[in-house]
Structure 1
Amino acid sequence: MCRVIADPRIATHRARLADGRELIYFDDADTALGPERAIDARALDPRPATAHMRQDPLTGDWVSIAAARQNRVFLPPAHLDPLAPQSPGNPSEIPSTYDVAVFENRSPSFGPALAEPGTPDADPATALAVTRSIGLERTLPSVGRCEVVCFAPDHEGSFGTQTVSRARTVIEAWAQRTAELSALPGVQQVFPFENRGEAIGVTLGHPHGQIYSYPYVTPRTQRLLDAIDAYGPTLMADLIERELAGPRVLLRGEHWSAYVPFAARWPIEVHLVPHRHVPDLAETTLAERDELARVYLRLLRGIDALYDTPTPYIAAWHQAPVHERRDEVRLTLQLTSPRRAADKLKFLAGSEAAMGAWIGDVPPETQAEALRTAIEGVDE
């Protein structure tokens, strides 16, 4: 189980939505809000049944069949924003105004059910063995949890448009939620992320991200574990040391640095890493979170400064598995964008989509130089 040092400057308030889902408010250190929160008085339908997963025996991958997601809201107007505070004309998901709010997704890919305590599914070693074995037409319940993280009450924006204080509150929410979600029965990996832009497939313009809590170790992380087995336990430490001594570094801080990776797949691809070994956000120190708020904002604003319009991206926090706490796996933010020019996007064609064999459109060194120039023009 992860342990987290909570920032005493950032207050939390817990509540329940009308259908029983958990809602947590995180107040900025300099908040203007009082401690009172309204009650969710909506009449809501019961929560959907937990989805189920099917295994692809050719790869071992698990696919969650979550039909309830078909009912998600698609690009609503501002007055019907489901992530804005509730108003007389908008029965949204959040009863009160807020700084940062986290709540259980109404149409989750995983959950709301969790592994039953005392059953084989709740035993980490047994569950890992079950999910890694291969068979035909295998199914398992999609236990776990999916949460929405609202960065601000505003209808439009992203993480990069927030103040340093607000960014710090979101980071605190990520850290605290990582710790709590890691303790839920059946959860094997916790993944905070932000999708930004319609080109990525975003269905809400409201500044927000999500946190998925998976009942298995994800394929991307499993490949990392396999790479560590092949190379040796110092893989990530050696890689980061080499990258931070190389030509693709974008930003350096006391605790964090960002670089374009040597074998970048996407036209824009940046990794942001802590200087010391940290397996997940829950185990970062308060000083590391304080600096991360500033460094991450500068990085995102530099990426937006590349072109005249905001850049779509996926910002993915890769964290160590919950129960395979391999000391070799280090927390890494991997930000990717398909934008290869002001008016061009990279689409995954035959080689990438069908075979997983990537072709890079922009040399990583070229993109690193462009990003450094853009970041240098951003005010700290």
Structure 2
Amino acid sequence: MKRTVTRLADGRELIYFDRRDDADRSAMDERPLPGRATASELRYDPLLDEWVAIAAHRQTRTFLPSTDDCPLCPSTPGRPTEIPASEYEVVVFENRFPAYGDGASGGRCEVVCFTSDHGRSFAELSPEQVQTVIEAWADRTAELSAYPGVEQVFCFENRGEAIGVTLHHPHGQIYGYPFVPPRTRRMLDVARRHPGDLFAEVLSAEREEGVRVVVANDLWTAFVPKAARWPYEVHVYPHRRVPDLPALDGAEREAFGALYLDLLGRLDRLFGMPLPYVSAWHQAPVRTDRDLAWLHLELFSIQRAPGKLKYLAGSESAMGAFVNDVSPEDAARRLREA
């Protein structure tokens, strides 16, 4: 894997990931960009023991541009973008409108472009391209984990306007949180109190019962959790306990790519439409409880039926008490049949 590091006009880091050793990444960003002026601020909520980022500068971020104005497409003569090259495989760069980083909040936010093809989705990538994405995720997780102000690395993709996506180009993000987020803290607190091996027991029970398993291979299992919160929610576990993406071996990375493409295809065939989803990697914190954590992916959609979305209304938004309109067993069956 060839890794080329360069800088954008305002000093932000950009990294190309290429399978080809002869890839030319000499093009420079010559845009007259203003200097970075991030103004994120972390504020502590004493009632919930949580941190909130106040990032008012994100109000001015790019919002649903036309294809001709997409900032994530390769640069062309007369139309420079965030990526100076005229083509690319996978590229990662510092977010121009970060929720965290370079200010009082600490941390770092990056954008991952999965392909230079604006019209494709992750489900349509080749297996080779998926492997490049996985290598980029692992590379960035390892590097950001070494930053003194980063406590957890979160790789994720938001897909679809219904989810809140503001750029249609196939991409994801990576957050280097300056704290351990509430969801991770709670999971690991539960695992610490559990008398056995919590994650191993959950995976074993789902594989043994089988009714909620959607797809599996020798190294990974994808299942709808028994207490799923979302209409269509799938968790993907490696069969071997590893704390994070860099710890996966070559066989596990390859096996995940094949299974993940299968799973994404099922989601899109479910209602005959590109399903909006969030795809989120749960990795171990950088410095604490790495022995308790078990790397896994959480993939969920708010689409509960054709033309119907799952909205987080009073109970979910105000109290965090979820009500799911689709039974997990039925969701798993439908995805198996898709």
Bucket of the pairwise TM-score, normalised by the shorter protein: over 0.9
Task: Note if 1:91 corresponds to 2:54.
Answer: no
* SS in structure 2 of the partner of residue 357 of structure 1: coil
Q: Distance in 2 between matches of 1:47 and 1:298?
A: 40
One of 120, 127, 143 as aligned partner of 1:164: 127
Partner of 2:95: 105
Gaps of 5+ in 1: 1-9, 114-140, 375-380
Partner of 1:70: 59
Partner of 1:25: 16
- The structure, 1 or 2, with the larger RCO (C-alpha pairs under 8 Å, 6+ apart) is 1
The aligned runs of 1:177-326 (5 Å cut-off) are 177-232=140-195, 234-246=197-209, 247-326=211-290
Alpha-carbon offset, residue 13 of structure 1: 0.9
Query: 1:13 touches 1:35 (CA, 8 Å); kept in 2?
Result: no
Query: 1:81 touches 1:90 (CA, 8 Å); kept in 2?
Result: no
The one-letter code sitting in structure 1 at the alignment partner of 2:6 is A
Q: How many residues align?
A: 336
* SS in structure 2 of the partner of residue 74 of structure 1: coil
Alpha-carbon offset, residue 233 of structure 1: 5.1
Which consecutive segments of 4 or more residues in structure 1 shift more than 2 A? Answer: 31-37, 88-91
Partner of 1:349: 313
Deviations for 1:302-328, whole angstroms, at most 9, x for unmatched residues?
111101211000000010100014312
If the length of structure 1 is used for normalisation, what is the TM-score?
0.86
Alpha-carbon offset, residue 33 of structure 1: 6.3
* SS in structure 1 of the partner of residue 142 of structure 2: helix
Task: Note if 1:14 corresponds to 2:5.
Answer: yes
The aligned runs of 1:33-182 (5 Å cut-off) are 34-96=23-85, 97-113=87-103, 141-182=104-145
Alpha-carbon offset, residue 186 of structure 1: 1.2
Task: Note if 1:340 corresponds to 2:331.
Answer: no
* SS in structure 2 of the partner of residue 245 of structure 1: helix
Query: 2:38 touches 2:97 (CA, 8 Å); kept in 1?
Result: no
The one-letter code sitting in structure 2 at the alignment partner of 1:344 is K
Alpha-carbon offset, residue 42 of structure 1: 1.3
Q: Distance in 2 between matches of 1:51 and 1:76?
A: 24
Alpha-carbon offset, residue 157 of structure 1: 2.9
Deviations for 1:271-325, whole angstroms, at most 9, x for unmatched residues?
0010000111011111111111111111101111101211000000010100014
The one-letter code sitting in structure 1 at the alignment partner of 2:314 is G
The one-letter code sitting in structure 2 at the alignment partner of 1:82 is P
If the length of structure 2 is used for normalisation, what is the TM-score?
0.97
Q: Distance in 1 between matches of 2:38 and 2:280?
A: 27
Q: Percent identity?
A: 54
Q: Distance in 2 between matches of 1:77 and 1:238?
A: 47
Segment of structure 1 superposing worse, 213-222 or 244-253: 244-253
Q: Distance in 2 between matches of 1:229 and 1:102?
A: 35
Alpha-carbon offset, residue 43 of structure 1: 1.4
* SS in structure 2 of the partner of residue 89 of structure 1: coil
Aligned-pair Cα RMSD in Å:
1.3
Gaps of 5+ in 2: none
Q: Distance in 1 between matches of 2:264 and 2:46?
A: 39
